Amino acid sequence: MIIQGIGVSKGIAISKIIKLKSESLTVTSEKIVDIEKEIAKFREAVNSVIIELQAIRDLTVKEIDEKHAKIFDAYIEFADDPEISGEVEELIRNEKYNCAYALNVVEKSYLKMFKSMEDGYLKERVVDFKDVIKKITSSILGFSTISLKELKTKVIIVANDLSPSDAAQLNKSKVEGIITNVGSKTSHIAIMARSLKIPAIVGAKNITNIVHDGDMVLFDGFDGKIIVSPSEEDIETYKHKRQEQIKFDKIIDTFSEKESYTLDKKLVELASNIGGPEDLSNAIKSSADGVGLYRTEFLYMNKTNFPTEEEQFRDYKIVLQNMKNKKVIIRTLDIGGDKTLSYLKMDKEVNPFLGHRAIRLCLDNIPLFKTQLRALLKASIYGNLSIMFPMISTIDELRQAKEILNECKKELQNEGVKVSHEVKVGMMIELPSSAILADQFAKEVDFFSIGTNDLIQYSFAADRTNEKVAYLYQPLNPVILRLIKMVVEAGHKEGIWVGVCGEAASVQETAAIYLGLGIDEFSMNSSSILTIKFLFSKLKYSDMVEISNECLNKSTESQVEKIISAYLKKIYY
């Protein structure tokens, strides 16, 4: 049987499965007599959960990185919240409730409060909150929560969903793969599986109802295809495929020190997308030519209040210094859409992706915008900085943003602060409006970086977080190819370079076609750089120009896919 999910972490997994049952804990109400004993029992459970969470946090730092470990700070905050504990203890004292029941009552009232909140970020934290309460309840009732650390044999884990704490506890050497019913490419488990290099598929609908413990399953985390009870032949084919992947990874490692040239000697720039200084080591390890996209919103999202000018300056300076004069493109705040800040009151919008997002929000919050621009300009003397504005839809927005940047420059100079004169200013092309008017925009910036994630979402009017319209994510559709071609031609005519920093830059088929359309720079997650470098080393730029031009005149994405897949097969085998 074949089930199609969403491949979120590449690699082939072949193994028996175990289903992770998210048993719901039954909590009953009992009247207690010894109040102090019950309170002590509750406090002991809370303490043990805090210790467990600290251990998971430490493990995450060791196995993944500091950024992912931060998820558990929020967990610990909930477990350690004096208000929650206070309310539970009050119920034990006044109502003589047993502690598990008192906690259950408090949980319900908090859930009600969360539900009535408008803030999207806080709403998302409900999952974390419930996970923490479940841990404390389990500890009171004497259950241990799922012990993923103690898996004895290699398995594929199948679950409805996995929480970040479940994921962090995975014993990497025992987990062949992960499949969940729900999730998207950007869900926590997807991000963590990629970081842990565990093959994973999410959105496999009701797989938990289809498979049973001990069933043999194989899947490819690249294409999202799951085979339940595979034949001997399937197993052999996939084992072979896995060997090929391992061989491939060894080969591409040898490309780490080389520049990215095509067979016919065209030099292509390959840069890293980063979310902060914590991603620098991977960018440097992958020998990136620079940072093509620094998404600064993480600096804001990991805080309980706006980061100060000084805090921002510190992070930007670290990145610029470590990249040692290589190009570093720092994008100004892109909040809104699916990214919210717990401490910024944002009106509820019916269509947040079409709403008050990114540059629109910054132009409406000048002090917020200026703080970031000042921090960037102050840091500019420490490296090779480019500032990039997101979601620009009109020339007026671009001009306003540039004017505010100039104001900041003047202010700093008047204050006697040194600012580099070499700072470049660019914009994301991620809306059809800016792509179509690229010839005009090109006169006013130093570079373009095409954000395919949004350009595709807005071209096809398909919410990028909605699984039901995921089929409209078509980076090879001639619609997108034509838009890219227009942008490249407009940019080159004005003598500026054009990059791509959306996910499509890291996928072999799209990178090859976009190269043929004339893209100068590809920016992607660091782990994909060597694969793309290897790909470019195998193909001829002149071939890609010819093929891409042919594809511009096709009518569907599948026609383009067929053409490029055939070419890639030819150069690889």
The listed partner (Mg ion, ligand PEP, none) that binds 502, CB under 5 to 8 Å by sort, is: ligand PEP
502 scored as a contact of ligand PEP (CB under 6 A):
yes
Q: Residue 237 and residue 253: Cα distance in Å, rounded?
A: 25
Q: Residue 458 and residue 460: Cα distance in Å, rounded?
A: 6
Query: For residue 524, what are its two tokens?
Result: 């992607």
Residue 403 phi/psi, 5-degree rounding, is -65, -45
190 vs 501 by CB, closer to ligand PEP:
501
Least distance to Mg ion, CB of residue 192, Å:
22
**What x-and-dash track marks residues 153-192 binding ligand PEP by CB under 6 A?**
----------------------------------------
Query: For residue 285, what are its two tokens?
Result: 């390890």
Task: Report whether 177 contacts 203 (CB < 8 A).
Answer: no
Least distance to ligand PEP, CB of residue 505, Å:
9
Kindly calculate the radius of gyration of the chain based on its CA atoms and give it in whole angstroms: 26
463 scored as a contact of ligand PEP (CB under 6 A):
no
Of 265-304, binders to ligand PEP (CB under 6 A) are 293, 295
The string of DSSP codes covering 163-174 is -HHHHHT--TTT
248 vs 353 by CB, closer to ligand PEP:
353
Task: Report whether 338 contacts 301 (CB < 8 A).
Answer: no
Helices (H), ranges, 199-351: 207-210, 232-253, 280-285, 297-301, 309-322
Place of tokens 């039954």: 26
The one catalytic residue in 68, 188, 408, 551 is 188
- Cβ atoms < 10 Å from Cβ of 326: 18
Helices (H), ranges, 443-556: 452-459, 478-493, 508-516, 529-538, 541-552
540 scored as a contact of ligand PEP (CB under 6 A):
no
- Which of residues 120, 199, 221, 451 is near ligand PEP by CB under 6 A? 451
The listed partner (ligand PEP, Mg ion, none) that binds 452, CB under 5 to 8 Å by sort, is: ligand PEP
- Cβ atoms < 10 Å from Cβ of 33: 7
User: Does residue 560 sit in helix, strand or coil?
Assistant: helix
C-alpha distances in Å from residue 213, one per residue of 18, 155, 167: 5, 10, 19
The one catalytic residue in 99, 362, 408, 501 is 501
- Which of residues 38, 107, 128, 430 is near ligand PEP by CB under 6 A? 430
Q: Which stretch binds ligand PEP (CB under 6 A): 68-76, 360-368, 449-457, 551-559?
A: 449-457
133 scored as a contact of ligand PEP (CB under 6 A):
no
- Which of residues 15, 386, 452, 526 is near ligand PEP by CB under 6 A? 452
The listed partner (Mg ion, ligand PEP, none) that binds 99, CB under 5 to 8 Å by sort, is: none
- Which of residues 89, 128, 454, 520 is near ligand PEP by CB under 6 A? 454
Q: Quick one: DSSP state of residue 296? A: T
Least distance to Mg ion, CB of residue 437, Å:
18
Is 421 a residue of the active site? no
Place of tokens 């809306």: 431
Q: Is 71 exposed, middle or buried (0-12, 13-18, 19+ CB in 10 A)?
A: buried
Side chain identity, residue 59:
L
The listed partner (ligand PEP, Mg ion, none) that binds 5, CB under 5 to 8 Å by sort, is: none
Q: Residue 120 and residue 25: Cα distance in Å, rounded?
A: 28
Least distance to Mg ion, CB of residue 358, Å:
8
Q: Which residues contact 500 (CB under 8 A, 6 or more apart)?
A: 449, 450, 452, 484, 514, 519, 521, 522, 523
Least distance to ligand PEP, CB of residue 424, Å:
18
Least distance to ligand PEP, CB of residue 503, Å:
7
Least distance to ligand PEP, CB of residue 440, Å:
21
Q: Which residues contact 501 (CB under 8 A, 6 or more apart)?
A: 271, 273, 292, 293, 428, 449, 450, 451, 523, 524
**What x-and-dash track marks residues 324-363 binding ligand PEP by CB under 6 A?**
----------x-----------------------------
Residue 291 parent element (H or E): strand 290-295
Q: Residue 119 and residue 346: Cα distance in Å, rounded?
A: 7
Number of residues that bind ligand PEP (CB under 6 A): 10
Q: Name the site residues for Mg ion (rule: CB under 5 A).
A: 430, 451, 454
Is 501 a residue of the active site? yes
- Which of residues 145, 434, 453, 525 is near ligand PEP by CB under 6 A? 453
11 vs 352 by CB, closer to ligand PEP:
352
79 vs 376 by CB, closer to ligand PEP:
376
Residue ranges binding ligand PEP (CB under 6 A): 293, 295, 334, 430, 451-454, 501-502
Residues labelled catalytic? 188, 501
